[in-house]
Structure 1
Amino acid sequence: MALAGAGLSAAALLALSWRKGLSPVTVVLAGLVLSLYAGSVSGVMVLFNHDLLIGLFLWGAGFLDQQDWSTAAFLAPRLAMLALAATLVLRPLVLLGLGEGGARSLGLSVAGVRLAGLVIAVMLAALSVAAVGVVSFVGLAAPTIVGMAGARRLGPRLLWATLCGAALLWATDALVLLAPVTYRELPTGAVTAVLGVPMLLWLLPHLRTTAPPVTSTAAPPPRAHRPALLLAAGALLLPLALWAAVAAGRGPDGWEWSAGGALAAVEPWRLPRALAALSGGAMLAVAGATLQRMTGNPLAAPEILGVSSGAILGVIVLMFSTEASGRGAQILAGGAGAAAVLAAMLALGHRDGFSPDRLLLAGIATSSISGVVVAVLMAGHDPRLQTLVTWLSGSTYMVGPTDALATALLAGLAVAAIPFVARWLDLLPLGGGVAAALGVSPPLSRAVLFSLSALLTAAATLIVGPLSFVGLMGPHLARMMGLQRAAAHLAGSALLGGLVMLAADWLGRGMIFPYQVPAGLLASVIGGPFLLWLLGRR
């Protein structure tokens, strides 16, 4: 089944990116959206079938316990064949590093080489996951460590990265077996991330920043002729959408429209969560748009900051260290965790001028820890995790009036800050040298923008959970509508992100009444195919 799922995902990825000649940006962006979408669908299944999926949690955390040699016998010949295939495409891949123009001038089929490389990579990942589950961090850490050690040519990097990844996982499994009996049941994949992430963070200051290979860039979407008019129409739509989300709902007698006294009766229950969903989506979309423009990376999204992961870890520590944890205590614990990660990221960034690549890589490494911790805890079948699962799914069920007002205030402040940072976000994508020549300090502006994005992400995460998919989807939807300048792009991202989350909360409240689907999961399940469709049209 795992191989079938990998095949379907790979087919969808190829269908979305083939028109662009398997452009790396298109492939990675489509892959990220597909990954988030698959995770959201599985999250819905987990939410409603938690007790039946304990084995899946263990497998998902990289559980390497074996009863015989069957798994090794299954992997060995297939790995040998794929290694031979990788050797055959090694020289074309080296030529591809010269850029599309140079590769084509030498008679290379760029799309064909990319297709061959993708097929090999997908098959390697699918076989590994099918055999031993999801092993975190090794695929990121091994190539990075080998690159830092001095391997520059592709051939040696492939060889040494393979050996390094094998050594990392073998050493971690040996440590697990040497641990006391109580800890030997820990999934090896989880321990790999826990041990490897600090090592990667320690090595990051020594990472050489290299320019990406030259690739063809897709033509930008057409620019909106009247962005102010478009934004004004969206701003007028917001209160109407909020009113409709509160008035329309599903009750024991089916769908109904509340007015007058009936509206006043349901307003205390529906308005806070609707307002929180709208505001949380807007904040995450602004954070995502800021990150994408600051780094020039269309894949940048709030979840890779690591701040939401700090909030998750703070809430987990609270849940397992106290008997009772109310809403206020959860917000304080999550805020403390987010603040600790933010302080660590700022300290790391201060050493190298807030290099965007290193900040994003550090955020990804930090985020992997929280994902592993959650997977291990889910495998433990602790009843206290049901509340955590609901919050992680992006549920607005527990939002009260105070939470909603605080979220709306923060979202308003975020929108008000757009004019003050718009010039930075227009100039930073041109490069640090150009920005500095025009009077912008890249280290200072990046520090401020990173802090703003992190604070917005932390606030939204604490109130309505880590709804990070909106932080990726909102900015891309705004750009596809023609909002290209920074101010219009951020404002449009806020409007679209808020509307997407508001619609998801409304649908999740009534789709399977009296049960509810968390807004975060529903936004991913519904918005994912739409974003993929838009990507396919580009």
Structure 2
Amino acid sequence: MTARSDTASSAKAPNAARRPVVGAAAVAIGLLAFGLALAAFNLSSTAPAGRWLEALVAPDENDMRELVLRYSALPRIAVALLCGLGLGLSGALLQQVLRNPLAEPGTLGVFAGARFALFAATLWAPELLAYGYEPLALAGASLSMAIVLLLSRGRGFAPAALILSGMIVSLALEAANKMLTIGNFELLSDLMIWQAGSLAQNDWSTALGLAPRIAVAGMAAAFAARSLALLDLDDAGARSLGARLGLTRLMALAIAVFVSATVVASVGAIAFVGLAGPAIARAAGALRLSQRLVWGSVVSAGLLTLTDQALVALTGGMLPPTGAVTALLGAPLLLWLVWRFRSTAAGERVTTGASPRIGASWWLPMMILPALVLAVLVAMSLGRVPNGWVWATGADLSALAPWRGPRVAAALAAGFMLSVAGALLQRVSGNPMASPELLGVSAGAAIALLAAAFLAPGLGYGGALALAAAGALVSLSVVLVLGKRSAFAPTQTLLVGVGLTALLGSVSEMALVTGDPRVAQFLTWLAGSTYSVSSAQAAASCAFAVVTALSLPLLTRWLAILPLGDPRALALGLHVGRIRLILLSVAAVLTAASTLLVGPLSFVGLMAPHLARLSGVRGALAETIAAGLIGALIMVLADWLGRTIAFPWQVPAGVVATVIGGLYFTWAMRSRR
């Protein structure tokens, strides 16, 4: 009896194991069929179905419909299929080799690195373009991937650390890309639009170039699949079965980066397709690597074709680029995956790797004040002219004051408010890596201002501030709701914030590629420029910063007690929920006011509270004030550097601060244990 039952169960096992594969195949083939059906519908509006083959083989040169079909519509479908297959393959490989279900070229900084290499070569080494885009994109993607791996190596390439590092590297490189575009808008605007992921085609050259490369990558992945499958085990188990882990990982990463760089060089960045395909295939039952490589790639191909053909049907395929739309659709998928992905250490606390030195509470603020005064004096007086450096005094300084004064004041106020907002967020969330930039708060304010710029251009400063504050508060609420599942584990909450930033950033990207004449001005603001700030705005922002500083003593008791935990706070008589909402609302308003001045990205809100703690400041009020003063100092210096380092061109203060913040984040990640 036992033997028969064992035999029966073993006979049923293959059928049970086969069902998930059938489900994954059905989903993949279904998506692909929908995409191709929509493509056929679009083709039928161009030429009758009976003419398709003739138009492909020998089109009538006097029939514009057949020419469009041969040289535009059909190549576009082929490119969408090939790019989807390649990105799905790349995503499946990255997720396997890094043991990270959130990995894909976009989230690991590969796309941003490739784009930066193309932008930089176009400006500074155009002779390299003679060799084609692909070598440049491959070099930039490889370097970016190496930086991400270096940052996360200290934490054992943990999934959350990898994604967080990749997203930060992406944000920093994209800020650099915006800086280059601002200074060379006419030269780079077309490249920026094309690099947003346009699948529009004029001939078959792109498809014919992609096909052999993706085929070779697929064969290489199939060759390495057996060794890669052993990575489902731990390292010791894989080695015991003869796996050469270093060589296997290197080969898989090389294939994934090569495919991603090929796609970027051919059509631009198409975000989240490589994440969605393998994730959907896995959810549909593709449990083995070989299944995910096949069906994940097919799902990605179907999704990209379906999305692109939907755009063709709705807009004629002109704008927006498909890559911007996939980012808009894929970022929610990232948020959902992060929401499902429970932290293995819900109670973790992120540290900077160094302990604060014991010292007096107020010595650092007292030391920063003279340094801040000196920085303001330098920013007002010292500058570059065609003949060199000049220190302005007397009448010259009076003549320059109306031009430099508002910029310096705006940078000072924005740095102070962003840093105070960061300090509040870090204390309320118990997460020392929290900041307005990383929790999506700045992005929420930015998207609200973008809506105002296009829908209500006459909105005054007060209305814009209210709208930006509402956007910031909504974004912060979303982060808190999604972060609740992981008990607000620091890294998980950061991942939610970064995912939300990516979602809102994709909306901005769609606006940037519309060709609207307001785009150049919005791009300048988005990068954190202060040179369009008026005297009235500067005065209002300084007054707001002063009011903030004077109000902080009223919050001191809350800020000192909340980090002790909810039970102790309740025991001491605090209404924790209400107080947390008040403090988060204050942080949202401060972020909104700062975003109006310097854009949504600077990392000052992350750096300044850390530097205050590392300097030995003790006490909630002293730490918050010190953080605000440090942030003001950083932003004033960033604005001055942006005005002078690339003279006669100007680099926005937000971009300079982002570079400084990226370097600081690199140090912080390397220091975490």
Contact 1:2 1:126 in 2 (8 A): yes
In 2, Cα distance between equivalents of 1:454 and 1:107: 54
- 3-state SS of paired residue (2:198): coil
- 2:631 corresponding residue in structure 1: 497
Query: Who is 1:95 aligned against?
Result: 234
* 1:402 aligned partner: 536
Q: Which residue of 1 aligns with 2:175?
A: 40
What SS is found at the alignment partner of 1:222?
coil
Q: Which residue of structure 2 aligns with residue 133 of structure 1? A: 268
1 CA distance for matches of 2:263 and 2:618?
Answer: 41
Give the deviation of 1:277 after TM superposition.
Answer: 0.4
Q: CA deviation at 1:244?
A: 2.9
Hey, what does 2:309 align to over in structure 1? 174
Contact 1:248–1:258 (8 Å) recurs in 2: yes
Q: CA deviation at 1:396?
A: 0.8
Deviation at 1:503, TM superposition (A): 0.4
* Equivalent pair of 2:406/2:535 in contact (CA under 8 Å): yes
Paired position in structure 2 for 1:474? 608
1:427 to 564, 568, 572: 564
CA contact (8 A) 2:307 2:326 kept: yes
Amino acid in the other structure paired with 2:308 = D
What secondary structure does 1:255 align onto?
strand
Equivalent of 2:357 in 224, 227, 246: 224
Equivalent position to 1:5, from 133, 140, 148: 140
User: For 1:303, what is the secondary structure of its paired residue?
Assistant: coil
Shift of 1:487: 5.0
Give the aligned residue type for 1:10: M
CA distance in 2, matches of 1:83, 1:296: 45
* Alpha-carbon distance in structure 2 between the residues aligned to 1:131 and 1:207: 33
Give the equivalent residue in structure 1 for 2:344. Answer: 212
1:422 deviates by: 2.2
2:526–2:599 Cα contact (<8 Å) kept: yes
User: Cα deviation per residue 1:496-522 (whole Å; 9 max; x = unaligned)?
Assistant: 222111001112223344542211112
1:236-385 equivalent positions in 2, closer than 5 A: 236-251=370-385, 254-295=388-429, 300-321=434-455, 325=457, 329=460, 332-333=463-464, 335-336=466-467, 338-340=469-471, 342-343=473-474, 346=477, 349=480, 356=488, 363-385=497-519
CA offset digits 1:435-474 (Å, max 9, x no partner): 7677666654543443333222211111232233323333
What secondary structure sits across from 2:656 in the alignment? helix
The size of the alignment, in residue pairs, is 524
Structure 1 residue 314: deviation in Å?
4.1
Aligned-partner SS, 2:528? coil
| Cα distance in 2, alignment partners of residues 301 and 83 from structure 1 | 43
The answer (yes or no) to whether the contact 2:483–2:496 under 8 Å persists in 1 is no
- Does the CA contact (< 8 Å) of 2:164 and 2:498 recur in 1? no
Shift of 1:477: 3.8
1:290 and 1:453 in contact (8 A); partners too: yes
Residue in 2 aligned with 1:463? 597
Contact 2:270 2:323 (C-alpha < 8 Å) held by counterparts: yes
Separation (CA, whole Å) in 2 of partners of 1:391 and 1:41: 14
In the TM superposition, what is the alpha-carbon distance from 1:275 to its structure 2 partner? 1.7
Any conservation in 1 of the 2:225–2:289 contact (CA below 8 Å)? no
Mapped contact 1:227–1:488 kept (Cα < 8 A): no
Indicate the RMSD between aligned Cα atoms, in angstroms.
Answer: 4.6
Structure 1, unmatched stretches of 5+, are none
Paired residue type of 2:199: L
What is the rounded CA distance, in whole Å, between the counterparts of 1:439 and 1:120 in structure 2?
Answer: 58
Residues 298-356 of structure 1: CA deviation (Å, up to 9, x unaligned): 6544234444334434444444457xx46x64763464255246347537856996964
Deviation of 1:410 after TM superposition, in Å, equals 3.0
What is the TM-score with the length of structure 1 in the denominator?
Answer: 0.78
1:64–1:188 contact (8 Å) kept in structure 2: yes
TM-superposed CA distance for 1:92, in Å, is 4.0
Q: Is the partner of 1:468 in helix, strand or coil?
A: coil
- Comparing 330-339 with 67-76, greater Cα deviation is found at 330-339
Q: Contact 1:17–1:26 at 8 Å: present in 2 too?
A: yes
Q: Describe the superposition over 1:47-70 as per-residue Cα deviations: whole angstroms up to 9, x where unpaired.
A: 121122234223432223353343
Secondary structure at the counterpart of residue 343 of structure 2: coil
The 3-state SS of whatever aligns with 1:63 is: coil
Q: After alignment, is 517-526 or 453-462 more displaced?
A: 517-526
**Counterpart Cα distance in 2 of 1:250 and 1:167:** 55
2:189 maps to a residue whose letter is: I
Contact 1:284 1:457 in 2 (8 A): yes
1:204-237 Cα deviation digits (max 9, x unpaired): 9x94462236999877303222152233312342
Q: 1:483 to 1:95 in 2, by over 3 A?
A: farther
CA distance in 2, matches of 1:186, 1:39: 19
Q: For residue 283 of structure 1, report the CA deviation from its aligned partner.
A: 2.0
C-alpha distance in 2 between matches for 1:391 and 1:10: 29
* Distance of aligned partners of 1:60 and 1:336 in 2 relative to their CA distance in 1, 3 Å threshold: same
AA paired with 2:585? S
Residues in 2 aligned to 1:186 and 1:396: alpha-carbon distance in whole angstroms: 29
* CA distance in structure 1 between the partners assigned to 2:539 and 2:591 by the alignment: 17
How far the C-alpha of 1:134 sits from its partner, in A, is 1.8
Q: Secondary structure at the match of 2:530?
A: coil
Deviation string, structure 1 residues 46-99 (Cα, Å, up to 9, x no partner): 112112223422343222335334324322431453466466345545537xxx
Aligned in 2, Cα 1:291/1:345: closer, same or farther, shift over 3 Å?
closer
Distance 1:279 1:467, change over 3 A: farther
SS of the residue corresponding to residue 212 of structure 1 reads coil
Of structures 1 and 2, the one scoring higher in RCO (CA 8 A, sep 6+) is: 1
Q: The residue matched to 1:223 in structure 2 has which SS?
A: coil
Give the TM-score normalised by the residue count of structure 2. Answer: 0.64
Aligned positions of 1:74-113 closer than 5 A? 74-82=213-221, 85=224, 88-92=227-231, 95=234
Counterparts in 2 of 1:386-401, with a 5 A limit? 386-401=520-535
Distance 1:480 1:112 in 2: 40
Q: Distance in 1 between matches of 2:499 and 2:480?
A: 14
Report the secondary structure of 2:389's partner residue. strand
Distance in 2 between residues matched to 1:299 and 1:79, nearest whole Å = 39
SS in 2 for 1:256: strand
Classify the secondary structure of the residue corresponding to 2:234.
helix
Amino acid of the structure 2 residue aligned with 1:332: G
